[in-house]
Amino acid sequence: MNPPYGSEIKNWVKKAHDEASKGATVVGLIPSRTDTKYWHKYIIGKAEVRFVQSRIKFEGCKTKSGKLEPAPFGSAVVVFRKNKKPVNKLYKMIF
């Protein structure tokens, strides 16, 4: 899942968490905002987290000079699985 990065993201994360508890595997690319309530309620200790070391650059988001514009925040890949021990890792992404 790649949810909209606004105030509704907490609902997407909750849904991913809830579906995993029913047996689904859900992988999400989300901002690594570990200071938010939804991170503590649905992710930390409950999902695998892979932090992306550099800021992701999305195709279509370019500066005036034509270079790809990085996201204004760090990102994480979060994996929700039923009955799996959480794993937290840092990955360096090269673009």
pLDDT digits (tens, 9 = 90+) for 13-55: 999 999 999 999 999 999 999 999 999 999 998 899 999 888 8
Helix (H) or strand (E) holding 51, with range, is strand 48-52
The reported pLDDT for the residue numbered 92 is 55
| Separate counts of helices (H) and strands (E) for the chain | 2, 6
- Is the model's pTM score more than 0.85? no
Buried b (16+ CB within 10 A) or exposed e, 37-54: ebbeebbeebbbbbbbee
The reported pLDDT for the residue numbered 95 is 47
Determine contact, residues 76/49, Cβ cutoff 8 Å: yes
Q: Is the pLDDT of residue 86 over 70?
A: no
Helix or strand or coil: residue 32?
coil
Q: Is the pLDDT of residue 83 over 70?
A: yes
Mean pLDDT across the stretch 6-14?
Answer: 94
